[in-house]
Amino acid sequence: MKTTPFTDKHIALGAKMHEFAGYNMPIEYSGIIDEHLTVCNAVGVFDVSHMGEFWVKGPGALPFLQKITSNNVAALAPGKVQYTCFPNEEGGIVDDLLVYQYDPQKYLLVVNASNIEKDWNWCVAHNTEGAELENSSDRTAQLAVQGPKAILALQKLTDIDLSDIPYYTFKVGEFAGEKNVIISNTGYTGAGGFELYFYPDAADKIWNAVFEAGEEFGIKPVGLGARDTLRLEMGFCLYGNDLDDTTSPIEAGLGWITKFVDGKNFTNRAMLEKQKAEGTVRKLVGFEMIDRGIPRHGYELVDEDGGKIGIVTSGTMSPMRKIGIGMGYVKPEYSKLGTEIFIDMRGRKLKAVVVRPPFRKSNDHQNC
């Protein structure tokens, strides 16, 4: 199994470790619910060094990215971040990712850990524009410092005014005495905070500085278990669950990152444009349980008579709401808000209702 620069720290802290995307990763420390609430109310730290980072540079960078991604890269400005996906040729998604623009000829792509090799091969195979590509995944460490108090802790460690970095923008500068740290106002929790990218040899120093700065705010390390419950409460998609090689961005409710602008002839544009105009055979919806029960990935969604209407892609017990919540694909006629659907839980038919995520309401906590 691969390790991150923080693996020894997780083990020393007594984390429950498990393989994820080929890496030995922390699943939980104090417990998923405690860690989830820490991020919602204070500040938590995730090791996300397993994520992939590709650099795209040169005069061919923009035309290459306009062809290979669904969102409009031309709308970016230096210091801006964009959520997007790589559509495949069959109507599905190769991966979802973030695009960071340094300047019009220099971009950083951040891809899912489980798809690094697949995404790299996809980019290389489709690079007819002569963009300079560099896979620096093994030379980049990353921490996500998330929660309403993240900004208070991190501000102690840099002269950059963090309140001057709006959501989905970034700055590069000195942090905890280390130069060239990327400080990005992004995250996968909905609780606010930043993601930090730096060289692995700075990992120890940055980890220690962050935990020292956050001590007064109740900072804790957080594992992948709470990362999943936090993203699900927000209705954020997870590749491999809610998105895959067969789900189109239109079916997945990602029409907002699929831009049919003039001159942007991206992969499979014609088919996706047709889907947008004519509708799809299934739609990704959020639902919350009315009956007691926890929906899980792979459970069937059925109508009142038990006829199959879809499948659960993600599900959990919401730590904030204390009810079962989930996402899944259903036939379009069952996708309207307020529609009653049923989850087949090992032969028991349990009632749920279609809702619009996020499941975590703003009054659960002022910042969460």
Tell me the pLDDT tens digit for each residue of 187-206: 999 999 999 999 999 999 99
Residue the block writes with tokens 């995730």: 46
Tell me what the mean pLDDT of segment 360-368 comes to: 55
> Which run of H or E residues covers position 12?
helix 7-12
Closest CA to 268 of 84, 93, 73, 74: 93
Q: CA-to-CA distance for 108 and 243, rounded, in angstroms? A: 22
What CATH class is the domain 235-364? mainly beta
pLDDT tens digit sequence for 7-46: 999 999 999 999 999 999 999 999 999 999 999 999 999 9
Going by pLDDT thresholds of 50, 70 and 90, the confidence category of residue 361 is confident
| Range(s) within the chain of domains with CATH label 2.40.30.110 | 235-364
Q: What is the mean pLDDT of residues 58-75?
A: 98
Average pLDDT, the chain: 97
Instruction: Give CA angle at 359 (353, 365), nearest 5°.
Output: 145
pLDDT at residue 362 in the model: 60
Separation between Cα atoms, residue 252 and residue 242, nearest integer Å: 7
- Spatial CA neighbour of 341 closest among 259, 278, 286: 286
Q: For 48-62, what is each residue's pLDDT tens digit?
A: 999 999 999 999 999
pLDDT, mean of residues 227-247: 98
Please report, for residues 27, 195, 196, the alpha-carbon distance to residue 150 in angstroms, rounded to integers and kept in the order given.
21, 10, 12
Query: pLDDT tens digits for 265-312?
Result: 999 999 999 999 999 999 999 999 999 999 999 999 999 999 999 999
Architecture of domain 7-49+140-233: 2-Layer Sandwich (3.30)
Q: Output the CA–CA distances (angstroms, integers) from residue 274 to 86, 91, 221, 283, 329, in the order listed.
A: 18, 11, 45, 15, 19
Burial class for 80, CB neighbours closer than 10 Å (0-12, 13-18, 19+)? middle
Can you tell me the mean pLDDT for 233-262?
A: 98
What are the tokens at 44? 């938590």
Mean pLDDT for 74-90 is 98
Q: Look up the pTM and report it.
A: 0.96
Contact of 154 with 210, CB cutoff 8 Å: yes
Q: What residues does CATH 3.30.1360.120 cover in the chain?
A: 7-49+140-233
Higher pLDDT, 364 or 321: 321
pLDDT at 368 over 50: no
Q: CATH 3.30.70.1400 residue ranges in the chain?
A: 52-120
**CATH code that applies to domain 52-120:** 3.30.70.1400
Query: Residue 103: pLDDT above 90?
Result: yes
The pLDDT-based confidence of 325 (bands split at 50, 70, 90) is very high
